[in-house]
Amino acid sequence: MVPEDRKYAASHEWIKMDGDTALIGISAFAVTELSNGNEGDMVYCDLPEVGRVLATGETFGEIESVKAVGDLNAPVGGEVLEVNTSIEDHLEILCDDPWKAGWLIRIKPETTDWGHLLDAEAYEGTLAEQA
């Protein structure tokens, strides 16, 4: 079950408003796909610099496991205000809590019109198709 308080990209990133800013992370499904459920398989995460301005769909970093490398894509455009630097040194946070402590970046979104993103129900539908 994915949280209903955020929107999802088909590429498995999520975005959630937090006041007038938004948090972006990756879903538990993405973490499991990368790590095979073994947090020790996660080896590297590269996140953007604060101040970088992202366009919708732009790759802003990557995450690597012993199994694969995945691009991190911005579900919406905006300026990077904060980076969760703990993730870069402690990838187990993503495995333990991708929905809260495992957020990757905080942005000032350029828009709150997120009609191109999936709600929780639609995202779960895409996961069922991939199973």
Q: Say if 11 falls within a structural domain.
A: yes
**Mean pLDDT, the chain, integer:** 94
Question: What's 11's domain CATH number?
Answer: 2.40.50.100
On whether the CB atoms of residues 63 and 34 are closer than 8 A, the answer is yes
Residue 67 is predicted with a pLDDT of 84
Residue 1 is predicted with a pLDDT of 85
Print the domain residue range for 91: 7-111
- Name the residue among 31, 28, 72, 69 with its Cα closest to residue 52: 72
Q: Say if 120 falls within a structural domain.
A: no
The CA angle 15-50-87, to the nearest 5 degrees, is 60
On whether the CB atoms of residues 27 and 2 are closer than 8 A, the answer is yes
Q: Say if 124 falls within a structural domain.
A: no
Q: Say if 65 falls within a structural domain.
A: yes
Q: Say if 75 falls within a structural domain.
A: yes
What total number of domains does the chain contain?
1
The amino acid sitting at 71 is D
Q: Say if 117 falls within a structural domain.
A: no
What are the backbone angles phi and psi of residue 49, rounded to the nearest 5°? -80, 145
The model's confidence at residue 112, banded by pLDDT at 50, 70 and 90, is confident
